[in-house]
Amino acid sequence: MHTVLTRGNAILAYTLSVLACLTFCCFVSTVFLDYRTNVKINAVKTLVKNVPNYGNNKELNDLGFITFDLQTDLSGLFNWNVKQLFLYLTAEYKTESNELNQVVLWDKIILRGENAILDFKNMNTKYYFWDDGNGLRGHKNVTLTLSWNIIPNAGLLPTLFGIGEHSFKFPDQYTMQPV
């Protein structure tokens, strides 16, 4: 006869094997779904200031200010394997000193069951739009994109981009007014 410890070990091993199989089935059932959707972004107001950087060097750097509109419906992204979405709005641009600059300007977490239809008007950025030099004044091609990470119950953690982006330009002159 088997001891209680041996029987308990067999039951635990079998239970863990069944749970691992179910977790894998959960992953496979949603891995091939398309988690992209249309996004409308618009830069309403753009300003650029030349302010001191109080880091290691005391030189002047550009600081951009953006007010934006954002409209999208993310409710179709939620299914039984999606716990939450982590959204973030990024600005991409090129300067002479850097081939690619990416700055996160705003983010939001949407949990399952919350309203996933976003219709924001005249939103301010959540984070500063610093440039490590003077690359924002008069820049002609700054592109805003909305991206998100899907946090699933089981499976991969993909990073996806919304369908649609918005390009704008910064003014040619620095603003002196308070923002």
Residue of higher predicted confidence among 104 and 98: 104
Residue 76 CA from chain centroid, whole number: 17
Per-residue pLDDT of 102-159, as tens digits, reads 999 999 999 998 999 999 999 999 999 988 888 888 888 999 999 999 999 888 888 9
Q: Around Cβ 89, how many Cβ atoms within 10 Å?
A: 24
Mean pLDDT in the chain? 89
Sequence-separated contacts (24+) of 103-106 with Cβ below 8 Å: 103/127, 103/129, 103/130, 105/66, 105/129, 105/144, 106/68
Rounded CA separation 90/97 (Å):
19
Give pLDDT, residue 132: 82
Rounded CA separation 93/87 (Å):
20
CATH of 33-168, one of 2.60.120, 2.60.40, 1.10.3470, 1.20.272: 2.60.40
Give pLDDT, residue 56: 62
**The pTM of the whole model exceeds 0.85:** no
Q: Where are the domains of the chain?
A: 1-30, 33-168
Percent pLDDT > 70 in the chain is 96
> Cα angle vertex 64, ends 66, 67, to 5°?
5
